[in-house]
Structure 1
């Protein structure tokens, strides 16, 4: 009997992907909390207008890079959420490795936070892919 990858397994894959990112991203991510959860919570679902908890693979929750100088009192730290169960569904259907999928979601969330284009994110993702 095979067991699905755990929350800790996904976190290990994400941490390994962070280590392969270019320096400018790794430096920024040093202060970002990485959380792996099975599904987005009710607050995220409401704010993102999700129809189901399966509709989101990841989320960058925090202030835009251009707004970092003026952090209000009581602001929460920036966080990247990866949602295990929706990612496992995509993984099972896509045929790609779980490592590549986790890297893709991670890069995508960080890239949008930095205001990068999809093309720029593709370049970063290629450089972060394991050899």
Structure 2
């Protein structure tokens, strides 16, 4: 799958967010990257070669105070190569596009959850982990 198609699927996932999420997204950009750097993996506690599908960087809404302002946008990064690798491994029926679409959607929802202040445990509880 090429970068353009992957970007389309990420945009589709963002555009398809439930209205209650989309209406509350504030000061956040969603971008794609090929793969996380070794430094990024270390920062999140993974070893080089570890799997990271997406990453939220910023101040969750639950931690913003009245002094929050004049800051660059938070960022959600969706990583193409790890998602493609996992989708290929999980793709039982050969429909890679559908497998990537589903994995991208779950990853976007997961990272948006962090933007709203949800922990990994919270996300597992609602099946977005």
Tell whether the structures are fold-level matches, with TM greater than 0.5.
yes
In terms of mean alpha carbon deviation, does 60-69 or 44-53 score higher?
44-53
Distance change >3 Å, CA 54–CA 11, structure 1 → 2: farther
Which residue of the partner structure matches residue 13 of structure 1? 9
Distance change >3 Å, CA 39–CA 7, structure 1 → 2: same
TM-score by structure 1 length?
Answer: 0.75
RMSD over equivalenced CA pairs, Å: 2.4
Q: C-alpha separation between the residues in 1 aligned to 2:3 and 2:75?
A: 16
Shift of 1:79: 0.7
* Counterparts of residues 14-33 of structure 1 (less than 5 Å): 14-29=10-25, 31-33=27-29
Paired residue secondary structure (1:9)? helix
Answer yes or no: is the 8 Å Cα contact 2:41–2:50 preserved in 1.
no
Structure 2: tracts of 5 or more residues without a match: 92-97
Q: C-alpha separation between the residues in 2 aligned to 1:30 and 1:8?
A: 26
| 1:63 pairs with 2:65 | no
| 1:47 pairs with 2:43 | yes
Which residue of the partner structure matches residue 30 of structure 2? 34
- Count of aligned residue pairs for this structure pair: 118
Paired residue secondary structure (1:11)? helix
Shift of 1:109: 1.2
Structure 1: tracts of 5 or more residues without a match: 123-131
Answer yes or no: is the 8 Å Cα contact 1:13–1:102 preserved in 2.
yes
Distance change >3 Å, CA 12–CA 28, structure 1 → 2: farther
Shift of 1:72: 6.3
Paired residue secondary structure (2:126)? helix
